[in-house]
Amino acid sequence: MAHENEKIWFDGKLLPAKDAQVSVLTHALHYGTAVFEGIRAYQCPDGSSAVFRLNDHVKRLLNSAKILGFSIPHSHEELCKAIVDTLKANKLAEGYIRPLSFVGAGNLGVWPGKNPINTIIAVWSWGAYLGPEALERGIRVRTSSFTRSNVNGMMSKAKAAGNYVNSVLAKNEAVQDGYDEAIMLDTNGFVSEATGENFFIVRNGLIKTTPLTSVLDGITRDSILKIAADMGYTVVEQLFTRDEVYIADEAFFSGTAAEVTPIREVDNRTIGEGKAGPVAKALQAAFFKAAKGQDPRYAKWLTHYSF
């Protein structure tokens, strides 16, 4: 989390975190009318830092607002610059970036009316999302009893705050039952995604991930699809069922926070050899190389900065 003495970008100004305040009557607090991004910056071996796929994240933020029916009063270029400025102001060489645009105070009641749209950008250090051992050893997950939201109910292409009530229900249930994360099924019973990650399986040499229908169009997912294809793997976007997961050779999650996290167990069934599988490990290593500026093929994904 951002600490009190850190700087938060708030509607165009860098403020001390303690001064970045909003009203308790903020519309988004009552109705979940906010859109956000999760972005990572990595320290590169050459001493510089790089934001991973900044343009794609900012584009998705603007699109999330479009889906919700509001418009963020800042341009793509302004938001990209603001993110880099916030990293520099906090002297953060590596960490997590959270832009959030939300319907502010004004009218209460469901209709957002002409309430202002506020935007903040916070940054902080964030290590491995699912614990320090997760990236190495793999994690234990369960299928959630909560269904991923209907595609005509919540808009899964919007990274909208309100969508995450569904994720919080599933995550709490998984953690209370002693698992690290939950896999959610769509309304037809096919595998969808996790509470904050896209999902992949590897079976008989084929890498499969769920199509975009009910899931967030993950930027790490897209990176993995490209990296895997460049490594010569066959990758398909195809619906699959939970029993296919049980008999997969490997399974893993992708996400900005989770990076590439191998899965060693699903619903108390061992996946493959019960440890991080070779394909997941190879993709994880290639992903980190790309994100840390060690693979020139993916240099276009990086926005370098230093302070």
The set of catalytic residues is: 159
> How far is 183 from 163, CA to CA, in rounded Å?
16
Structure tokens at 139: 């994690």
> How far is 138 from 260, CA to CA, in rounded Å?
10
- Residues within window 189-208 making contact with ligand PPE, judged by CB under 6 A: 193, 196-198
* Contact residue for ligand PPE among 104, 112, 138, 218 (CB under 6 A): 218
Q: In this structure, what DSSP letter does residue 160 have?
A: B
Find the part of the chain contacting ligand PPE (CB under 6 A) among 72-80, 132-140, 252-260, 282-290.
Answer: 252-260
Interaction of residue 214 with ligand PPE, rule CB under 6 A: no
DSSP calls for 2-14? --TTSEEEETTEE
CB of residue 299 to ligand PPE, shortest distance in Å = 19
Tell whether the torsion through CA atoms of 18, 24, 26 and 30 is positive or negative: positive
CB of residue 291 to ligand PPE, shortest distance in Å = 11
Interaction of residue 38 with ligand PPE, rule CB under 6 A: yes
Position 54: which residue type?
Answer: L
> How far is 214 from 62, CA to CA, in rounded Å?
20
Structure tokens at 27: 């519309």
> How far is 267 from 1, CA to CA, in rounded Å?
31
CB of residue 81 to ligand PPE, shortest distance in Å = 21
- Residues within window 152-181 making contact with ligand PPE, judged by CB under 6 A: 167
Nearer to ligand PPE, 229 or 247 (CB): 229
Interaction of residue 257 with ligand PPE, rule CB under 6 A: yes
Interaction of residue 220 with ligand PPE, rule CB under 6 A: yes
CB of residue 56 to ligand PPE, shortest distance in Å = 8
- The partner residues of 49 in beta bridges, in order of sequence, read 43, 305
Binding site for ligand PPE (CB under 6 A): 38, 167, 193, 196-198, 215-216, 218-221, 254-258
